[in-house]
Amino acid sequence: MNPATIAIDGPASSGKSTVGELLAQRLGYLYFDTGVMYRAVTWAALDRDIPIEDEPAVTALAQQLRIKVTPPTLDDGRQYTVLADGTDVTWAIRAPEVNGNVSPVSAYAGVREALVRQQRQVAAQGPVVMVGRDIGTVVLPDAELKVYLDASVEERARRRWLEEQARGKEVDYDVVLASMRRRDGIDSTRQVSPLRVAEDAVVLDTTGLSIEDVLAEAERLVEEQGCRPD
């Protein structure tokens, strides 16, 4: 039998990473956030002075970059450790310059092809909660449960703003909101694997809900659809 698969998609700061990790812990599944792979490629391009607009060069980078995601190696609040060619980039891939460039990088067909191949290999290893923007539509179209988390752009920008403040960074809410709207536009209109709701996905609006509320609803869906592995 194929392993049980749960796909969680949604726009930036909709709560999918937090809910996905907690759900995976509750179920004893592997948790995998595909977004870190695109961020790692973006970080590497910036670090190596590869122009983000140079699609062939960025694609070649994605094809050869060794990205490894492991359980946390440091107790500093991280959900996991991300290595790019052996360098710990866990927090570096959350920098504003990466936030501002990851959407165009993730829109490149060659980049997505290279990373989707790796993502499917991860899913084949066992029961998994996989999080991203095209998991239910492209990466794991046969996932046994598909959940799409959403929230108003203002609420999502507020969450991202609070996250940056918690890390000691002084950022303006209006700047974060503008960046969030820009990213939403790129993600939903790109030609390759645009952000959209899978036809068989359950949509959960997380605006005004606590993480505990969303997690409880996700667990209910798991029980309803019988997604626990034998």
Q: Domains (ranges, CATH) in the chain? A: 5-220 (3.40.50.300)
210-219 as b/e, with b when 16 or more CB fall inside 10 Å?
A: eeeebbebbe
Average pLDDT over every residue of 206-220:
93
Average pLDDT over every residue of 48-76:
94
88 Cβ neighbours under 8 A, 6+ residues apart: 73, 81, 82
Q: Which two tokens stand for residue 146?
A: 């598909």
pLDDT at 167 over 90: no
Average pLDDT over every residue of 210-218:
94
CB 201 within 8 A of CB 136: yes
Residue 228 pLDDT level (bands cut at 50, 70, 90): low
SS (H, E, C) the chain: CCCCEEEEECCCCCCHHHHHHHHHHHHCCEEEECHHHHHHHHHHHHHCCCCCCCHHHHHHHHHHCCEEEECCCCCCCCCCEEEECCEECCCHHHCHHHHCCHHHHHHCHHHHHHHHHHHHHHHCCCCEEEEECCHHHHHCCCCCEEEEEECCHHHHHHHHHHHHHHCCCCCCHHHHHHHHHHHHHHHHHCCCCCCCCCCCCEEEECCCCCHHHHHHHHHHHHHHHCCCCC
Average pLDDT over every residue of 154-162:
93
Neighbours of 49 (CB within 10 A): 6
Neighbours of 124 (CB within 10 A): 11
Neighbours of 220 (CB within 10 A): 10
What average pLDDT does the chain have? 90
Residue-level length of the chain = 230
**99-146: per-residue pLDDT in tens?**
889 989 988 999 999 999 989 988 888 788 999 989 999 999 999 999
CB 171 within 8 A of CB 164: yes
pTM of the model: 0.80
Residue 1 pLDDT level (bands cut at 50, 70, 90): very low
| Predicted local distance difference test score (pLDDT) of residue 227 | 52
**4-20: per-residue pLDDT in tens?**
899 999 998 899 989 99
| Predicted local distance difference test score (pLDDT) of residue 171 | 87
What is the rounded distance in angstroms from the CA atom of residue 98 to the CA atom of residue 39? 7
In degrees to the nearest 10, what's the CA dihedral of 50, 54, 57, 58? 80
Residue 186 pLDDT level (bands cut at 50, 70, 90): confident
Look at the alpha carbons of 168, 172, 173, 179 in this order and tell me if their dihedral is positive or negative.
negative
| Predicted local distance difference test score (pLDDT) of residue 2 | 33
Residue 164 pLDDT level (bands cut at 50, 70, 90): confident
